[in-house]
Structure formats: structure tokens, C-alpha cells
Amino acid sequence: MTEFIPPGTRWLDLPSPFAMKRGGSLHGARLAYETWGQLDPARGNAILILPGLSPDAHAAANTGNPEPGWWEAMLGPGKPIDTDRWFVVCVNSLGSCKGSTGPASIDPASGAPYRLDFPELSIEDGADAAFHLVRALGIERLACVIGNSMGGMSALAYLLRHPGSARAHLNISGAAHALPFSIAIRSLQREAIRLDPQWNNGDYDDAHYPESGMRMARKLGVITYRSALEWDGRFGRVRLDQSRQEHDRRDDEDPFGLEFEVESYLEGHARRFVRRFDPNCYLYLSRSMDWFDLAEYCDAPCGDRGGDVLQALAKIRVDKALAIGVSTDILFPLQQQEQVADGLRAGGADASFLPLDSPQGHDAFLVDFARFGPAVRGFLDAL
Amino acid sequence: MTEFIPPGTRWLDLPSPFAMKRGGSLHGARLAYETWGQLDPARGNAILILPGLSPDAHAAANTGNPEPGWWEAMLGPGKPIDTDRWFVVCVNSLGSCKGSTGPASIDPASGAPYRLDFPELSIEDGADAAFHLVRALGIERLACVIGNSMGGMSALAYLLRHPGSARAHLNISGAAHALPFSIAIRSLQREAIRLDPQWNNGDYDDAHYPESGMRMARKLGVITYRSALEWDGRFGRVRLDQSRQEHDRRDDEDPFGLEFEVESYLEGHARRFVRRFDPNCYLYLSRSMDWFDLAEYCDAPCGDRGGDVLQALAKIRVDKALAIGVSTDILFPLQQQEQVADGLRAGGADASFLPLDSPQGHDAFLVDFARFGPAVRGFLDAL
């Protein structure tokens, strides 16, 4: 398994055994993380970032690794998440393959990779692992937990399972449970991987690798992370340049090959991803999102799912919260962030919902800094 | 190849050779169709329905076939498309496999199925074939051309290439060109089929059939035909009934198997489809939609794609037009039907745009009769 762990990654050894929500436990597991800024003497200026499915812990350049990170425009001195003021911690999710323990890691019991012997992974396991890290860094109470996408789920699990662990919460394109439409898309992504004969029930290697399945899964991901509106302006109906060598371009030999720029864009994205993310880790993380449902924490189920989710959200105690969503997001639609704000407000938080008109869909927080920058800065500055 | 041709299907022999837009021609090709109602003596009450990618010509019960059709609620005596008043014709698209000539048909030159030797198929070829049928039925001028989805593209091609051929046009969830987001989705569907080793470059049979690829393609189709909003109300997070036997259900043997009702719904839909639609026909029809761009017919390209599309639409001459779209449609988004209405109006038509709030996405016209029924009835009644 090819792992891509950024230089400068730091590790926390998790308690061993580390019990998993759905049963089983991990031995000798660790969590990869990076930090920015200085923890103040009162330890009151700490922010935890819980990322989406695929990112590593390298959200931005730091002393350990000067390379730009996946949220470079948002995180650093003077930036919206201002590291002159805040001490920021970002993790690689438990179950991932960018340094944290996951299905691609060595199982100490066998000396071989866990693969499908990794215990069933829940969003809650990742949240609990991050909580151990925060405590190990000497932080009793975070100033804010920021969660993006899947991380928005993790953040809610974190806050609910660890009362009093944070003063504020910023939920970005997250959700309190998975919707059936998103479950359907992720199920299809997993099916693409599982259908690839090279997946071989999880037992692949670099020479026999489920490349096609991963490529399909990633393309479907990229499609659903963006929006029709954005791509119309970006690609239109432009054809591939006939003079350039392109992979799989449509010609007499391959009449159904790639023809439009948008197809080539997807192909390029997918090719860059498939060997940089472990397929089994992808399956585990993807499934953990489908399973996530904060309504499980509702004390007195009212039988109405939306009501149960709101009840569970209202058990979370934070002083301030902001849930940001994007109107063109089809994967975590706007109603889900509104629900998060409503539920946290019902729990007593000063909670707001901010819908943004970004054309970039679910991924807008990774690219639309003109809208997300001021929104995040405004919320954090007022803490 | 298993074909599913409804009983009562009628056929028109197309002119032979039948020249195709992108080159090549068909010999001995035919178009499958059905009719409802009576053509009046003045031959002025004829409506042509051009369907989406997968339907056959059996839109509703008729004397030749009393089984309900795919638009049963919309078409019949006293229904929104009232066959007491209108003589209605519906075709199976050229290139399909429900009776019309397509890649699964026998090539008279070889005596074997065309497969990938079928000439490149354009939306325009289907429109021209339908025009021949209408003329052969003795109809000089249609009262209305109705096009749904892909049929909305076909209808625009029909009207532009055959001036004066219709008095009115009803465009339902259609478009004047394919958007890159929709191209990306269809490209991925085709890739799923092409990646299936059983596709075998188009050379499959019933015993060696690209079942997995077709299943993936269909699931992705069904996902993008509907909407997150609808599925939340419909499936929620309901799990599969543990007491029932289900295909591929998640268990210890298959930890990534199906678990949620929405996954089983998709699986059922896909299984019903894969053996009822020819994979090569699917590839040809899907690609023809990507290629469709009415801007090709613009006389004086202005360099702005949207402007070119509007110019081309304005060349169409009809008296009245209505373009209906649905706010939750991600495949043919609302802006595309607004563009159709704007362009037809610029060409002198009394053209309206009607956005509907159906939660069912692109497929709403097949299910949301409470909204579509009155809209279609109102337009036709006023003709």
C-alpha cells in the first residue's frame, strides 16, 4: 500500500485498547495531526479542525512542512483562521491512510495490514480519537471545533459525546445525519470499488490494485461535490484539443472515449486520487458517513426523525455556533445546516445559519474563499 | 439480445438509405410507434410525443395494447393529453431497442447485429426519422410536438430542421444543448458499461452480458433523475427488513452489502432495467445527448454560447410554446427550460416558461401528475 503521509506529521498514541463504538477495539493505534500557532498560557485559544473524507492533517503550511495545505487560504497568520491568535490542531481522521491508523495499517495481532479485519468504523470513533488528542495536548476546553463535510458530522459527535469540551462550533457543509440521496451516491461509489475484480475482497497490492473501481468512485465523488451551474461557466461544451495527446481520447479506435474537457478534467482528478488513497480506507470512511445519525442520541424519541435529530442536537452545549451551507450542494443540502443551527439554538446556543450562494456545490468551502473567508473570520473574530 | 417490444407496436419503413447527420446511412431501417385517438378530416389535431432515453412507444393503453403505458396518467380520453380531441403519435427513438432500428438490430449488410458498426447517432437523426413518420401518416402540420427530457432535445431539432411542421411546442424538462455536468454524469454511466469486461467492445450476448456495468449505469441514472428532497421523505434512514431475503444484503459475509432501503430500491430498479435495454443502444443514445447543441444552427455565431443557443432557438417558428421545468432537476436544470422559452419567444412565439416545485427532480413529469397534469392540460386546451 502506497501511503502519502505529509512531512511534519505528528502522532498521538491512542489509549490501547481503543474501544470502537460498534464493537471491537484497536491496539497500538495512533492519530496523525499537525498544529499551527501557539497555545496561550490559559490554554483557551485552541481550535480543532475535523476534515472531510479524504484530506490529510496538512491543512496549511507550518514550520514542519512549508508546502501549501488543502485549506491554505483559510489558515495562517492574518487569515480567516488567524494563527496569530489561535492555536489550531488538524487531524487526519481515524480510519484514513494519511498517517492515522486505518484498514491499511498493520494489525499488531497479525503483523499484516488489517484490510477488512479492521473493526467497523463509526464517525464517533474518529471524534473520540480527536478528543483524546485534544486532552493529550493539555486542552480542557476548545475555543472552537470546526468541522467540514464529514468533519461536520464528526464535530457534532465530538460535542455530544464530550460535554463541555468546546465553547463554540463552526459547522461547514456538515450534517447531523446522512440523507438517503447521499447514502445512495456513496453506496454506488463503494459498489464501483467492490465490483472491480482487483479489489479482491480487500486483498490487493500495488501490482493488483482496484484502479478502475477507485477511478469510477472518485469521478462520481467529484461530480457530486460540484454543481451544474459552476461547470457550465467553467467547461461549457469545449472539446479536447485534437492536437494534444490525451489519455483515452475518442477516436476511431475508441468511439466512446473522452471528447469534452469536462470528461478530461474528471479523468485527471480521478487518476491523481486513485493511488493516493487506500481503497479499503475509502470504503470504511464512506460507510461510516452513511451510518451516522445523531438521532441515536435522542433520549425520548418522538418517532419523527427530524424531531429526533433536533432533540439530539439540543443536547449539545456550546455558547456560540454557526452552520454554513451552500445552495448548490446536493450532497449535504442546505436544509441540513439549517437543522444543525436550529437544534443547537434549541439547546441554548447563540446559533446562526448562513446560507451562501456559492456556485461550487459541496466543495465550495475548499475554493470559494471570497464567501467563506469573511464568514469564518467574522465568526471567529467575535469569539 | 433480448428485446422488449410491446404488443401492438406499429412500424414505419424509413426511406432507404436513411442518411445520418454525422455520416453513414441506414438501409431498411424502421421506426416503431403507437397511436391514440382519431385523426380528424382536416388532419389538424395531431400531437407527436418524443420520449426520453429509455421509454418505448407505449405511452398509454390503446386498442393494440390495453396494458398501462409509461405516461398512462397523462394520455387518454379526458386526460391532460385528451385523446377524445387529439390524435396522438408516440415513437420509440431511432437508435433504441424497443422496436426501432438501433445498434442491436440486424445490419442487412452483414446479417448480424450492428453493434458498434451502427453509424454515429445524433439527436437530429431521431428527429428526422420521426418527421418521416408524421408525413407518412398524412400529417402536414402537427398541432403540437411534445418532447420530454431527451425528447425535448429531439423536439427542438425537429422544429428547427423542418420549418412549419408544427403549430405549437411543449418542452418538458428538455434543453437546447447538453451541459457539462450532465455530460459528466452520462460519460460516467458509459464508462461503467465500457469497463465491464463482459461488454467486450460491444460484442456480448445473453450469456456474456455487461450486467454489472449496466447496473452501475442505471443506478447512477436513477440517482440523478430524482432529488435529495424527495428521497428523504420517501426512504429516510430506514434499514432493510432483517427477516426478509434480500439480494446482497450486508452481513458478516458481505460487510459492505446493502443495508438501507434506498440502496435496495436502487438495486431493484437497476436489476429490472439491465436486461431490458441493450447496452450498445444505451451508449449510442447517451452519447447523442452529449453531442446535441442547437447552437450549431446559429447563422451568425456571436461567440457567446448562450447567445448562440438563443439565436438558434429564435429560428424556430411556432405560434405557441411552453417550456416546463422542475426546480429540483440537476440533470436538465431549470435555466435550460427558461432558455428554451426565451429563445422561442425571440423567434416570435407566444412562449411561456413554467417552473414547478416538484420534489421529484428530472423524473417529475413521470410521477408528479398533480403539477404536470393541469399544466399540460391548460396548454393543450388553449390551442
ipTM of the predicted structure?
A: 0.94
Residue of B nearest to A285 (CA): B256
| Pairwise CB contact (< 8 Å): A231 & B184 | yes
The pLDDT of residue B228 is 83
CA B225 to chain A, closest CA, distance in angstroms equals 11
Residue among B181, B187, B216 whose CB faces A231 most closely = B181
Whole-number pLDDT of residue A253: 83
Cα separation, B39 vs B140, whole angstroms: 12
- Across chain A, what does the average pLDDT equal? 95
Report long-range pairs for B40-46 (Cβ below 8 Å, ≥24 apart): B40/B87, B43/B138, B43/B139, B43/B140, B44/B141, B44/B143, B45/B85, B45/B86, B45/B87, B45/B143, B46/B86, B46/B87, B46/B88, B46/B89, B46/B134, B46/B137, B46/B139, B46/B142, B46/B143
Does A10-178+294-381 carry CATH code 3.10.290.20?
Answer: no
Given a cut of 80, whether residue A169 has pLDDT beyond it is yes
Q: Give pLDDT tens digits along chain B (383 positions).
A: 445 788 989 999 999 999 999 999 999 999 999 999 999 999 999 999 999 999 999 999 999 999 999 999 999 999 999 999 999 999 999 999 999 999 999 999 999 999 999 999 999 999 999 999 999 999 999 999 999 999 999 999 999 999 999 999 999 999 999 999 999 999 999 999 999 999 999 999 999 999 999 999 999 999 999 888 889 889 999 999 766 655 677 888 889 999 999 999 999 999 999 999 999 999 999 999 999 999 999 988 887 878 899 999 999 999 999 999 999 999 999 999 999 999 999 999 999 999 999 999 999 999 999 999 999 999 999 99
CATH number of B183-285: 1.10.1740.110
Using CA of residue B232, residue A360, residue A71, residue A9, what is the dihedral sign?
Answer: positive
Whether the per-residue pLDDT at A2 is higher than 70: the answer is no
Average pLDDT over residues A234-259: 82
* CA of B113 vs chain A CAs: smallest distance (Å): 17
CATH 3.40.50.1820 residue ranges in chain B? 10-179+292-381
Which secondary-structure segment (H or E) carries A279? helix A279-291
Beta strands in chain A (DSSP E): 10-13, 18-19, 25-26, 30-36, 46-50, 75-76, 81-82, 87-91, 106-107, 112-113, 142-148, 166-172, 320-326, 350-356
Is A208 annotated as catalytic? no
Positive or negative, the CA dihedral A298, A158, A371, A364 is: negative
B220 touches chain A (CB under 8 A): yes
Which residues, in sequence order, are CB contacts of A135 under 8 Å at separation 6+? none
Distance from CA of B42 to the nearest CA of A (A): 43
DSSP states of A42-57:
TS--EEEEE--SS--S
Who's near A382: CB < 8 A, 6+ residues apart? A320
Residues in B 257-296 with any Cβ partner in A closer than 8 A: 258-263, 266, 283, 287, 290, 293
- What's the rounded Cα separation, in Å, for the pair A307 and B358? 24
Distance CA B173, CA B222 (A): 16
CB atoms within 10 A of CB B130: 30
Q: Which residues of B touch A177 (CB under 8 A)?
A: 237
Nearest chain B residue to A327 by CA: give it. Answer: B328
| Contact between chains at A223 and B184 (C-beta distance less than 8 A) | yes
Q: Render pLDDT for A223-240 as a digit per residue (tens, 0 to 9).
A: 999 888 889 889 999 999
Inform me whether the pLDDT recorded for A380 exceeds 50: yes
Minimum distance, in Å, between the CA of residue A351 and any CA atom of chain B: 24
Residue extent(s) of CATH 3.40.50.1820 domains in chain A: 10-178+294-381
Distance between CA atoms of A195 and A211, rounded to whole angstroms? 11
Which residue numbers of A belong to the known binding site for substrate?
218, 363
B242 compared with A109, residue with greater pLDDT: A109
3-state secondary structure B259-277: CEHHHHHHHHHHHHHHCCC
Sheet strands (E) in B281-341: 320-326
Name which of A329, A250, A128 is nearest B22 in CA terms.
A250
Residue B187 with chain A: CB contacts under 8 Å: 258, 260, 262-263, 266
Q: Are strands B142-148 and B112-113 parallel, antiparallel or unpaired?
A: unpaired
Q: Nearest-CA distance from B180 to chain A in Å?
A: 6
Q: What is the reported pLDDT for B1? A: 44
B256–A305 CB contact, under 8 Å: no
| Interior/surface letters B144-154, b for 16+ CB within 10 angstroms, e for the rest | bbbbbbbbbbb
Q: What is the pLDDT of residue A324?
A: 98
Binding-site residue set of A: 218, 363
How confident is the model at residue B2, as a pLDDT? 43
Residues 161-190 of A with CB under 8 A from B: 177-185, 187-188, 190
Q: Which residues are bridge partners to B355 per DSSP?
A: B325
All CATH 1.10.1740.110 domain ranges in chain A, comma separated:
183-285
Which of the residues A54, A149, A286, A288 is marked catalytic?
A149
B218 marked as binding residue: yes
B336 and chain A in contact, CB less than 8 A: no
Q: What's the CA gap between A255 and B103, in Å, rounded?
A: 14
Q: Residues A204, A279: contact at Cβ < 8 Å?
A: yes
- Which architecture characterizes domain B10-179+292-381 according to CATH? 3-Layer(aba) Sandwich (3.40)
Q: What is the pLDDT of residues A41-97, one digit of tens each?
A: 999 999 999 999 999 999 999 999 999 999 999 999 999 999 999 999 999 999 999
Cβ–Cβ gap B184/A263 under 8 Å? yes
Nearest chain A alpha carbon to B306 = A236
Phi, psi of A47 (to 5 degrees): -120, 135
Model confidence at A383: pLDDT above 90: yes
pLDDT reported for residue A320: 98
| Residues in CB range of A106: below 8 A, 6 or more apart | A112, A113, A114
**pLDDT higher than 70, residue A1:** no
Residue B116 touches chain A, beta carbons under 8 Å:
yes
**Element containing residue A335 per DSSP (H, E):** helix A334-346
* Amino acid in the structure at residue A216: M
